Structure 1
Amino acid sequence: MGHDMTANIAWTDPRCPVARTVDLVGDRWSLLVIRDAMDRARSFTDFQQRTGIARNILADRLRKLTTYGLLEQVDAPSGKRKLYKLTDAGKDLFSVIVTLRQWGERHAFVAGEDHSVLVDDNDARIPEFVPMSFDGTPLTSDNTHVQPAE
C-alpha cells in the first residue's frame, strides 16, 4: 500500500501498527469482505450474498478496501462488470484471518457446537497458529513487549 493512499486518514494512534491496521480493516464488515475474497468471492453479488451486508455498506467497504490497496478491481471476462481481487497487501491478511478464526473456535463457540473449519488443499485442518521466536520458543504477551518508536 502506498503512503499516499493513507495520507488522508485520521489515525487513532499514528505510531502504532495495531491501531493503524484496526483503522483500515477493524470495522464490522471489512475483514469479512477480505475473508470472503480469500474464499474466492469476486463480484459485488458474491460478497453481498455471503455476508448479508446491506448494499450501501458493502459498496462503501469495497471502495475503501480498494482505495487502501487491499483489493483491486479487474474486468470480468464478459467485460460487463468489475470484479474484485485481493492485492498482495490483502493476501497478507491471511494469518490475521486464521488467527481470528482459531480464537473464535476456542472462545466463541460452546464445546461441540458446529462451525466451519479451514482446511488445506488436501482437506487437512490447518494447524494451530502460534507465533515463534527465532529459536522456536512460542511467543505470547507474557514474553514479548512493544518497543516505542524513537
Structure 2
Amino acid sequence: MKRRDLGTSPCPIDRSLSEVGDTWTLQILRDAMHGVTRFTDFNKRIGLASNILSARLQKLVAVGIFEIQDSALGNSHEYVLTEKGRDFHAVLSALRQWGQRHLFEDDEQMTRAIDARTGQPPRHISLIAEDGRELTPEDMLLVRSRAADPIEAAVPVDTPRRHKA
C-alpha cells in the first residue's frame, strides 16, 4: 500500500509528521538539542547507517530545520538548528515527559532532562486555556480556516466528538 503524502494535508500533525515523523529524525533532533552538530557525532551516538543519516540530515536542511555552517575546526561542516528547529524543543520535551511517565518501571534507568541552572526537572508540559484551565482532549474542538485568518473566521470540522455534542 502506497503511503499518502502528508505534506499537503490540512492537518498540522500530518504536515509535522511529513517532516520529522520517523524514529531516526527524532533521534537526530534529540541529539541536536543537546549540542551534537557533526555528522560523525550523530553517527556514533545514533548508530545509523551513513547513507540513511545523510538522507535525514539533507531533508532536515531542505525543510529549514537545520542549516549548514563551516566547522570551527575547518575540516568539515556542522548541522546547526534554525529557529524552526529550536522550536521543536517543546515537542521533544513533551514526548520525553510522556515516556518518563508511562514507559518506565520505578527501578529502571532512564535519561532525564533537568534545568541546567537549578538542577530541577521542568514542570510537566500541558495545554493551558486563555483563562488558565488545563485543557484535556475533551476540551478541544477542531476548526478549519486559512492560516492567516483570525480564529473567529474558523469553521468547525465534523468529527466523532462533534456528533456527540
Fold match (TM-score > 0.5): yes
Cα distance in structure 2, aligned partners of 1:78 and 1:45: 13
Aligned counterpart for 2:92 among listed residues 83, 92, 97: 97
What's the CA shift for 1:52? 1.2
Bigger Rg, structure 1 or 2: 2
Aligned counterpart for 1:64 among listed residues 55, 59, 62: 59
Cα distance in structure 2, aligned partners of 1:141 and 1:13: 25
Structure 1 equivalent of residue 22 of structure 2? 27
Q: Unpaired segments of 5 or more residues in structure 1?
A: 1-9
8 Å Cα contact 2:61-2:68 kept in structure 1: yes
1:103-143, CA deviations, whole angstroms, 9 ceiling, x for partnerless residues?
Answer: 10112212331101111122211111111011110012111
Structure 2 equivalent of residue 144 of structure 1? 140
Q: Secondary structure at the match of 2:123?
A: coil
Mapping for residues 38-53 of structure 1, pairs under 5 Å = 38-53=33-48
Identity %: 35
Matched, 1:133 2:129: yes
Runs of 4+ in 1 over 3 A off after TM superposition: none
Cα distance in structure 2, aligned partners of 1:87 and 1:112: 38
Q: Unpaired segments of 5 or more residues in structure 2?
A: 146-154, 156-165
What's the CA shift for 1:12? 5.7
Structure 1 equivalent of residue 72 of structure 2? 77
CA 1:133–1:45 in 2, change beyond 3 Å: closer, same or farther? same
Q: Secondary structure at the match of 1:142?
A: helix
CA 1:73–1:12 in 2, change beyond 3 Å: closer, same or farther? closer
1:45-66, CA deviations, whole angstroms, 9 ceiling, x for partnerless residues?
Answer: 1111111111111001000000
Root-mean-square deviation over aligned CA pairs: 1.6
